[in-house]
A and B are shown apart, each in its own frame.
Chain A
Amino acid sequence: MSSTLFDKVWDSHVVRHIEGGPDVVFIDRHMIHEVTSPVAFLGLKNRGIKVLYPQRTFATADHNTPTINQHLPVADPLSANQLKALEANSAEHGISHWGLGHQKNGIVHVVGPEYGITQPGATIVCGDSHTSTHGAFGAIAFGIGTSEVEMVLASQCIMQPKPKKMRINITGSLGFGVTPKDVALFIISKLTTSGATGYFVEYAGKVFEEMTMEGRMTVCNLSIEMGARGGMIAPDETTFNYIKGREFTPKGEAWDKAMAYWQTLKTDADAVFDKEYTFDGSEIEPMITYGTNPGMGIGISKDIPNAEAVEGGKATYEKSLNYMGFHEGEAMIGKPVDYVFIGSCTNGRIEDFRAFASIVKGRHKAENVTAWLVPGSHIVEAKIKEEGLLDIFTEAGFVLRQPGCSACLAMNDDKIPAGKYAVSTSNRNFEGRQGPGSRTLLASPLVAAAAAVTGKVTDPRELMK
């Protein structure tokens, strides 16, 4: 029987199927961080259980860490306590722990791929919804809750019903100034934030085939924002070239064996999806969001839609615009911006900083803008320095911070103040996501850079001519 990429990976990991219930699915790799794991370890302790396969779990601290002065003790006692708990729990159970200050420390979904923990055909989970990022490698990767973190620690399995399958094809090529982030925001704006709930998505078509691994990670990362469990892209030469030689990828004979297997990981020509969408890549513009969920996005040159034109209740829509301080029919171009944030597991990789640098080079940060440049990991940070991007940033009046989730969820001190507008390369524009009362406009690193140097929402293509 013909099957999809998703079927192949999922089915090969089903330990047993429970009639009228979920599948018991074996998990190859488990990433943990300080925020969603402590209660899971507490659960193990109460039950008197040890971690079954400690070598399959990797711990990094990222959500709650400061992005300046990381060499100093963490000031917030609650945050410090979570970091200590992660360290102690990892030590007790023999789990690799990349804590604050460790050379391999960084955002969980950035370091996983960097060290080759993320591999095609693997099942990967983490107590963070953007685990979908790892799907870029042809892995099944998704976010789980703390009870499930405890399950994976205890048994290396989770229990979930098999999701339905969706394929999203993007044909053609992307236009000038259009990035993977725009592709993702475009798709979410079409499907809405619940359009893919209950599905696992495969992205296919020329646009994805031509995309770099980092771009694919950005797209898969945002799968969750349309409600999907996760998203994946069939591994190809681009994938294999990226992972080859990384610390945790197979070497020598094991590599050849893995390659033989990985090359079988594609959807059969006659496989059937429960739902399928096709869009034309050339129709996508640089995108920006104007509301309080990631589905509320438009091409940057467009006006904020009228309530009648959007799905969902008018009351919800008005509440959202009211929070943002925007009105129906207004243009986004020219809106003043107070903060710019480049970083997160969505756009905190080297290509994102290169894109940002391409626009700020030879220009200067706008007076009215506070900018936070936060690399996703120490590797990204080191590359920024090596490639001379740091010099470009410094000359343009920007400061580089240290790796972490930072203003993506504002658990540390990187909070956007109430009422302020932030153009942000992260993944969520929910009310208060970036700090109580903060107003977030999600966009690509190019749009963020254009805002950072002009102090307002600006079409980056204007600055790229």
Chain B
Amino acid sequence: MAYDKFTILKSPAVPLPIENVDTDQIIPARFLKATERKGFGDNLFRDWRYNSDGTPKADFVLNNPTYKGKILVGGKNFGSGSSREHAAWAVYDYGFRAVVSSFFADIFKGNCLNIGVLPVQVSPQFLERIFTAIHANPDTELEINLPEQRITLLETGESEQFDISSYKKENLMNGFDDIDYLQNIKPEIQEFAKQLPL
């Protein structure tokens, strides 16, 4: 599925300083019943965001108009648990284009990269700096520069380099996905399959 190309993102950020945010929180299983990829953002963090009667929980960050932006900043081990890509879809559909954390769960990270959400892994110290800066000024902006692989707190100029494979970087900057690539090497795959023992 096509997604917005990613180059440089400048935005305030929404802080969620909780560790081990699992994909069941990002999108609970009962909202996985769709057969199309539509509307998942409405149920992003459903049970943290809404009471059981559907009224918003005032103390949850997504319901707090002070915080906004296209960047979600989460605590360590973000996205653990289920492989449901719906979690990444919900993040994208809600309007986030990047998630920042000091550590990501593997499958969630891969899912994000496949659908055009950039996972930015920073040091625990830099993560703390970001949380502190947002806390002091909710309008503070972050810049995520994918070509240079750099994240910057614009107010102070503090910045950090982040890792991404050159292949995935290329994909995100151009809006390509892996299926485009795989389609092009189909004959090679079919040849390979012939010599497999199973």
Interface residues of A (CB under 8 A from B): 12-13, 15-16, 18-22, 24, 26, 28, 35-36, 38-39, 42-43, 46-47, 49, 52-53, 63-64, 76, 78-79, 81-82, 85, 119, 121-122, 127-129, 131, 143-148, 150-151, 154-161, 163, 193-194, 197-198, 227, 229, 257-258, 261, 293, 312-313, 315-316, 319, 409-411, 418, 428, 430-433, 436-437
* Residue on B nearest A153 in the bound complex, by CB: B179
Are the CB atoms of B165 and A430 closer together than 8 Å?
Answer: no
- Residues of B with C-beta under 8 A to A160: 110
Question: What are 5 of the A-B contact pairs (CB < 8 Å)?
Answer: A43-B179, A52-B186, A148-B178, A157-B182, A194-B103
- Residues of A with C-beta under 8 A to B165: 20-22, 161
Are the CB atoms of A145 and B83 closer together than 8 Å?
Answer: yes
- Residues of B with C-beta under 8 A to A64: 33
Are the CB atoms of B25 and A430 closer together than 8 Å?
Answer: yes
- Residues of B with C-beta under 8 A to A24: 182, 185, 189
Q: A145-B111, A194-B20 are in contact. Are A151 and B182 (CB under 8 A)?
A: yes
* Residue on A nearest B33 in the bound complex, by CB: A78
- Residues of A with C-beta under 8 A to B168: 21-22
Are the CB atoms of A436 and B114 closer together than 8 Å?
Answer: no
Are the CB atoms of A197 and B85 closer together than 8 Å?
Answer: no
Q: How far is the CA of A258 from the CA of B36 in the complex (A)?
A: 41
Are the CB atoms of A20 and B166 closer together than 8 Å?
Answer: yes
Are the CB atoms of B189 and A26 closer together than 8 Å?
Answer: yes
Give the interface segment out of B72-80, B133-141, B143-151, B153-161.
B72-80
Are the CB atoms of B188 and A159 closer together than 8 Å?
Answer: no
Are the CB atoms of A261 and B197 closer together than 8 Å?
Answer: yes
Are the CB atoms of A411 and B33 closer together than 8 Å?
Answer: yes
Q: A145-B110, A409-B29 are in contact. Are A81 and B35 (CB under 8 A)?
A: yes
Q: Does B173 contact A (CB under 8 A)?
A: no
* Residue on B nearest A227 in the bound complex, by CB: B105
- Residues of A with C-beta under 8 A to B29: 63, 409-411, 433
Are the CB atoms of B22 and A293 closer together than 8 Å?
Answer: yes
Q: How far is the CA of A43 from the CA of B182 in the complex (A)?
A: 14
Q: Which 4 A/B pairs are nearest by Cβ-Cβ distance?
A: A21-B167, A20-B166, A145-B85, A143-B83
* Residue on A nearest B32 in the bound complex, by CB: A35
- Residues of A with C-beta under 8 A to B114: 145, 147-148
Interface residues of B (CB under 8 A from A): 1, 17-20, 22, 24-25, 28-30, 32-37, 47, 52, 75-77, 80-86, 88, 103-107, 110-111, 114-115, 165-168, 177-179, 181-183, 185-186, 188-190, 192-193, 196-198
From the candidates A26, A43, A319, A411, name the one contacting B18 in the complex (CB within 8 A).
Answer: A319
Q: How distant is B56 from chain A, measured CB to nearest CB, in Å?
A: 15
For the complex with contacts A36-B84, A52-B190, A437-B47, 19 further pairs of A-B residues with Cβ separation under 8 Å are: A12-B196, A16-B188, A24-B185, A36-B32, A39-B36, A43-B1, A143-B82, A143-B83, A144-B107, A148-B178, A151-B178, A151-B179, A293-B80, A312-B76, A409-B29, A409-B82, A418-B52, A430-B25, A432-B47
